[in-house]
A = this chain, B = another copy of it.
Amino acid sequence: MDQITILKGHIIYTDTSDSFQVLENGYIIAHDNIIKDVCEQLPQKYTEEEVIDYGNSLIIPGFYDLHNHAGQYLQCGTGMNKQLLEWLNDYTYNLEKDLHDEAYANIVYERYVNDLVRFGTLGACTFATSSPVGTACLFETFKEKGLRAYVGKVNMVRNAPDFIIEDVYDSIASTEDIIMKYKNEPLVKPIITPRFAPTSTSESLKMLGELALKHKIAVQSHLSENPAEIQWVQELYPSSENYTSVYDKHNLLGKTPTIMAHAVHLSDAEIELCKNDNVYLAHCPDSNINVRSGIAPVKSYLNKGLKVGLGSDIAGGHKIQMNEAIVRTIQSSKILSVYENHEHLTVAEAFYMATASGGSFFGKLGKLKAGYELDALVINDDILYKERYTLLDRLEKFLYIGDDRWITARYVAGKKIDVV
Contact = CB atoms under 8 A, between A and B. Distances in A.
Contacts of A399: 77
A400 B334 contact: no
Interface string A222-243: 0000000000000000000000
B295 A330 contact: no
A384 interface: yes
A339 B339 contact: yes
Interface in A395-409: 396-401, 403
A291 to B, nearest CB: 8
A76 interface: yes
A384 B335 contact: no
Nearest to A340: B339
Contacts of A398: 77
A81 interface: yes
Contacts of A77: 396-401
A255 interface: no
Instruction: Say how many copies of this protein the assembly contains.
Output: 2
Nearest to A289: B331
A393 B76 CA distance: 10
Given A80-B347, A81-B347, A384-B74, A331 B290 contact: yes
A16 interface: no
Interface residues of A, number: 44
A396 B339 contact: no
A344 B289 CA distance: 11
Contacts of A293: 338
- Of A107, A286, A397, A403, most buried by chain B (CB within 10 Å of CB) is A397
A337 interface: yes
A318 B80 contact: no
A403 B337 CA distance: 30
Given A77-B396, A79-B393, 5 more contacts: A79-B396, A108-B385, A290-B334, A318-B327, A318-B400
Interface of A: 74, 76-81, 95, 107-108, 111, 286, 289-290, 292-295, 318-319, 327, 330-331, 334-335, 337-339, 344, 346-347, 383-385, 388-389, 393, 396-401, 403
